[in-house]
């Protein structure tokens, strides 16, 4: 029996091949639209859906890059892919503009479009780097795309203050076993794997008989080995609670458009006080944690507010709360987004000022220029928040040393702790009410979980509208309060790993080793006499 019928591999239905050929021909004719759709498809692999098969959008992108000629065309396709990817992944940013619809509502759509258009330049760069050479092997091309994409993500996380939101490695947040690679390479190693396993099946779209199935099989094998390694790491992984510490996480669940109305501030403050004073549901509560900006009063200037807070501080314990602090004597006045720790006498015993501020949210970049054309930041007030001095480890009575992370400070890989004073846990206070009931809060929690894996430290997260959670040092959620629920979560504090994982000790070196190994395989594939691998 012949191996091929009408030019097709043995066993392949000519009708299926014909349909595939027509589909690919249509994709080639409308390459930019196809790239846009492929990018949007890949966004579905991210939290909260974590639909891993959608990573195959990278296969279509790679197919288009191998069919299209020229660097300018590659830039266009990469940009279209990135625009679709970020548009679907970051649509929820528009919700923030409607917290003050009268002032900012009209800016919602153009702002998101411009933001996504800017971020799409990074995938455009990755596509350009991939297309600089006409790769003989589709597997080598997949490795080139995975490497270029990872490098572009590293740039996105550092240039202009950085915005490493929705790195594609977070697609594996739905599997505790797969996520463990972050302990070795950080989230970027998972990004490399995600693009590689998504792009390797592009070989199925090329002629080559049975050999073209090998890259797809390699992708499945990579995932299987990665899962196996993570599963082995999790065998017997059971954190012990820190003795004598029971935390109460307070989730006030206050919508953003109501949060700062002057006539309602006292009500929201009282809600936090009442939740904090509820009877314990197990072991006695030793420390209470409120979310970011939970205190509507300037604690340093408001002794009455400190007195009310002191009334709900557990005996011998502390209350940690997000709030704003001000220096009104300076010209112009200055403000900080801060975390305060208060004892049972109402004394502020520690303070941390947020370093990584949100552009257009907490400060207006290029204020001298943009302010003249009428642009403003979304948060109230006419002046910008000031950045704090940087990460610090705080040691307080009755608590192991911890590293505070306010809001989106938790999204920066490799920057969650002070490297000179390693803490025992991470504390993330945040106000995700800006995102509404969208995918934003789920994405934010997923990213915070990976900081726990990378550092080998438990993470405690108190969020205004949710999702408040306690995460063990392997990144597993031990307890949580759902999005949009009012309540408290009384939890033990998990202990840290006895020794930091490789990423916490070595930084980017394991990732460099991974990319270097990929480069060696890429060269071998290119010099091999067999063209399809």
* Residues annotated as catalytic (active site), given as ranges: 292, 354, 407
CA 187 – CA 185 distance, rounded (Å): 7
CA 202 – CA 196 distance, rounded (Å): 10
Q: In 10 A of CB 169, how many CB atoms?
A: 27
Q: Could you tell me the maximum CA-CA distance found in the chain, to the nearest angstrom?
A: 91
Please check whether residue 290 is in contact with residue 284, taking contact to mean a CB–CB distance below 8 angstroms: no
CA 389 – CA 394 distance, rounded (Å): 14
- Which class for 533: exposed (0-12), middle (13-18), buried (19 or more C-beta within 10 A)? buried
Torsion of CA 514, 356, 473, 318, to 10 degrees: 170
Q: Match 């305060």 to its residue by tokens.
A: 340
Whether the CA torsion 336, 341, 344, 348 is positive or negative: it is negative
Please check whether residue 477 is in contact with residue 493, taking contact to mean a CB–CB distance below 8 angstroms: no
Q: Match 């192991």 to its residue by tokens.
A: 400
CA 296 – CA 31 distance, rounded (Å): 52
Q: What is the DSSP letter of 250?
A: E
């Amino acid at each position: 029996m012949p191996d091929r019928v009408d030019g097709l591999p043995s066993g392949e239905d000519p009708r299926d091949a014909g349909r595939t050929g027509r589909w690919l021909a249509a994709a080639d004719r409308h390459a930019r639209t196809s790239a846009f759709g492929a990018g949007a498809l890949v966004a579905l692999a991210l939290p909260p859906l974590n639909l891993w098969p959608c990573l195959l959008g990278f296969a279509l992108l790679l197919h288009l890059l191998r069919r299209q000629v020229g660097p300018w065309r590659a830039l266009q396709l990469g940009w279209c892919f990135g625009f679709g990817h970020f548009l679907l992944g970051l649509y929820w940013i528009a919700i923030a503009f409607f917290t003050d619809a009268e002032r900012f509502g009209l800016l919602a759509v153009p702002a998101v479009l411009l933001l996504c258009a800017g971020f799409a330049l990074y995938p455009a760069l990755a596509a350009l780097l991939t297309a600089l050479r006409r790769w003989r092997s589709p597997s080598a091309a997949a490795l080139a795309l995975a490497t270029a994409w990872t490098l572009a993500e590293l740039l996105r996380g550092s240039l202009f203050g950085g915005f490493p939101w929705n790195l594609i490695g977070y697609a594996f947040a739905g599997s505790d076993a797969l996520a463990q690679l972050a302990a070795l390479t950080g989230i970027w190693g998972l990004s490399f794997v995600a693009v590689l396993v998504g792009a390797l099946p592009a070989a199925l779209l090329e002629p080559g008989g049975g050999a073209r199935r090998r890259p797809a099989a390699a992708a499945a094998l990579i995932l299987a080995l990665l899962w196996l390694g993570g599963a082995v790491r999790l065998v017997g992984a059971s954190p012990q609670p820190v003795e004598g510490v029971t935390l109460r996480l307070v989730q006030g669940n206050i919508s953003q458009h109501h949060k700062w109305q002057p006539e309602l501030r006292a009500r929201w403050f009282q809600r936090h006080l009442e939740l904090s004073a509820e009877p314990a549901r197990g072991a006695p509560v030793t420390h209470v944690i409120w979310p970011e900006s939970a205190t509507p009063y300037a604690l340093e200037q408001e002794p009455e507010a400190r007195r009310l807070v002191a009334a709900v501080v557990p005996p011998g314990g502390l209350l940690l709360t997000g709030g704003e602090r001000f220096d009104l004597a300076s010209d112009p006045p200055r403000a900080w987004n801060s975390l305060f720790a208060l004892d049972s006498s109402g004394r502020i015993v520690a303070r941390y000022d947020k370093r990584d501020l949100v552009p257009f949210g907490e400060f207006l970049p290029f204020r001298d220029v943009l302010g003249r054309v009428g642009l403003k930041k979304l948060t109230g007030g006419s002046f910008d928040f000031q950045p704090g001095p940087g990460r610090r480890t705080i040691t307080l009575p009755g608590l192991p040393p911890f590293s505070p992370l306010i809001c989106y400070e938790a999204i920066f890989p490799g920057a969650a702790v002070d490297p000179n004073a390693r803490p025992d846990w991470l504390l993330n206070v945040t106000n995700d009410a800006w995102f509404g009931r969208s995918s934003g809060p789920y994405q934010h929690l997923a990213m915070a979980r990976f900081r726990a894996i990378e550092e080998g430290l438990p993470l405690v997260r108190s969020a205004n509208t949710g999702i408040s959670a306690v995460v063990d040092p392997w990144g597993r959620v031990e307890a949580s309060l759902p999005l949009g629920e009012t309540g408290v979560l009384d939890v033990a504090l998990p202990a840290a790993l006895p020794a930091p994982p490789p990423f916490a000790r070595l930084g980017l070196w394991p990732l460099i080793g991974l990319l270097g190994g990929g480069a060696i395989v890429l060269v071998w594939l290119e010099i091999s006499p067999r063209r399809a691998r």
